[in-house]
Amino acid sequence: MSLPECSVEQLTQFIGPNATNAEAAAKFICSQFSAVGNKFVDTQFAVDNTYLLFSAYLVFSMQLGFAMLCAGSVRAKNTMNIMLTNVLDAAAGGLFYYLFGFAFAFGGPSNGFIGKHFFGLRDVPTEAFDYSYFLYQWAFAIAAAGITSGSIAERTQFVAYLIYSSFLTGFVYPVVSHWFWSSDGWASATNTGNLLFSTGVIDFAGSGVVHMVGGIAGLWGALIEGPRIGRFDHSGRAVALRGHSASLVVLGTFMLWFGWYGFNPGSFTKILSPYNSGNYYGQWSAVGRTAVTTTLAGCTAALTTLFGKRILSGHWNVTDVCNGLLGGFAAITAGCSVVEPWAAIVCGFMAAIVLIACNILAEKVRYDDPLEAAQLHGGCGAWGIIFTALFAKEEYVNQVYPGKPGRPYGLFMGGGGKLLGAHVIQILVIIGWVSATMGPLFFILNKMKLLRISAEDELAGMDMTRHGGFAYAYEDESHKNGIQLRKIEHNSSSTPTPTPTTDS
């Protein structure tokens, strides 16, 4: 916040030369103005940090959404396993992002490839960011790891989760976020001194940085592991292995929807920033617009998926609608702050088409992803990057990314093709980087027999073979009340009733 300076020399002239001790009076008045000004500066920092902390809490709540979505999307015999992996993503990710990840991502000044300061949060806070910024970025990092876990669900050894989650959050993801979000990154839109194609990459909240990274990592894990037993029959035809709880899927989807209002609008990191001082329109308006574009993209994708799948399968499937909704969110994440609300509807519509097409392709090539994570986050994330390069509005681009007048914007909005070129490069380098790092990791784990569980464990379910029991109690083993619950078989000849028993 820029405040006007109080000059003792100028103020003395107004007091007049005949006033008693005019200079002392001027100093006193200036000191009072300075004190008030400092209070305003303190208030701005407090408001912005509180906004960022609240956004971090919202993004972290998405972990509960991931957990519920994953649990509902797998079979009951693997519920405990997938829930434990979601807890692990947050716990292991927290330590490794603290030790290495944050430094690799935002440890400036540094080179364009990787950060080199703030290991273990040394020298934090700084003028550039406080502890709240670390917490917010950590929540993003574990979201990427959570995406990957869905792709390799129901057949992956626990030790493999530990290794890949630590590597992804501690190194692979931070390097990508440095490229596109750090002020030193070689393709960052905030690196105004060295902008790629004079524009940099506008990936505001991470369609590429978060969603594509998690999706491509999951793609390699699922490809190297192979499909679950029974997912395809001997002729190669797909067999549905449906999750055990649509209720958990819907609950998880709504939790993710709620968290996305921290994911996208929160990526401003500040809210008390006027574009023109004394005006009703400022960054707080852009935050609200971002929430609106996020909502419209998700809603449009959900409805498009609903009717699209109805035409293809003949059913109104709630799980498909939930995935379509999330696909719309993943797509709008890159351009949510720089596009008009009407453009978000276009984004959501096409995201649903992309997701449906990716799922059809996945079945044809016998690719098995229990949560459609690679298709949803990878495919829709890539579309979101292209969409932003087509529909980014000049006014919004200059407001969100100031300091570079005349910056290229969306192709369809009259801004030329430079932004599109930068975004195509982003897609290619993310695919290349994640493939070059996570692909070999999963391959080595597979060769060392640390990746996939045995066929016997997979058929029995990992809850029983690896975690000591099922997630649900299917019968009451106690008889304290003198009643034993038994399964009742109904037939046409009689209507049996449960028989009370007494303890001997």
Which amino acid is present at 137? Answer: Q
Tell me, yes or no, whether 12 lies in a domain: no
What's the domain range around 422?
47-464
Intra-chain end-to-end CA distance of the chain, in Å: 79
- pLDDT at 27 (0 to 100): 65
Between vectors from CA 363 to CA 361 and to CA 364, what angle results, nearest 5°?
Answer: 65
pTM of the model: 0.88
Tell me, yes or no, whether 75 lies in a domain: yes
Tell me, yes or no, whether 59 lies in a domain: yes
Tell me, yes or no, whether 482 lies in a domain: no
Tally of domains within the chain: 1
Q: Are 142 and 169 in contact (CB under 8 A)?
A: yes
Q: Which two tokens stand for residue 236?
A: 């190669």
424 contacts: CB under 8 Å, gap ≥ 6? 386, 389
Tell me, yes or no, whether 64 lies in a domain: yes
- pLDDT at 108 (0 to 100): 86
Low-confidence ranges of the chain (pLDDT < 70): 1-30, 32-33, 474-504
Does residue 204 sit in helix, strand or coil?
Answer: coil
Tell me, yes or no, whether 39 lies in a domain: no
Taking each helix axis as running N to C, give the angle between helix 158-167 and helix 131-151, from 0 to 180 degrees, rounded to the nearest 10.
140
Tell me, yes or no, whether 498 lies in a domain: no
- pLDDT at 14 (0 to 100): 57
User: What does the pLDDT look like over 339-382, one tens digit per residue?
Assistant: 999 999 999 999 999 999 999 999 999 999 999 999 999 999 99
Which amino acid is present at 5? Answer: E
- pLDDT at 442 (0 to 100): 97
Task: Write the DSSP symbol of residue 209.
Answer: I
User: CA 498, CA 249: separation in Å to the nearest integer?
Assistant: 34
**Which H or E element spans position 97?**
none
User: CA 226, CA 155: separation in Å to the nearest integer?
Assistant: 9
**CATH number for position 303:** 1.10.3430.10
Give the chain's length: 504
- pLDDT at 406 (0 to 100): 87
- pLDDT at 15 (0 to 100): 59
Tell me, yes or no, whether 8 lies in a domain: no
- pLDDT at 19 (0 to 100): 53
Q: Are 225 and 374 in contact (CB under 8 A)?
A: no
User: CA 200, CA 327: separation in Å to the nearest integer?
Assistant: 25
Q: Are 401 and 190 in contact (CB under 8 A)?
A: yes
Does residue 201 sit in helix, strand or coil?
Answer: strand
Rg of the chain on CA atoms, in Å: 27
User: What does the pLDDT look like over 156-169, one tens digit per residue?
Assistant: 998 999 999 999 99
Query: How remote is the C-alpha of 66 from its chain's centroid?
Result: 10
- pLDDT at 496 (0 to 100): 47
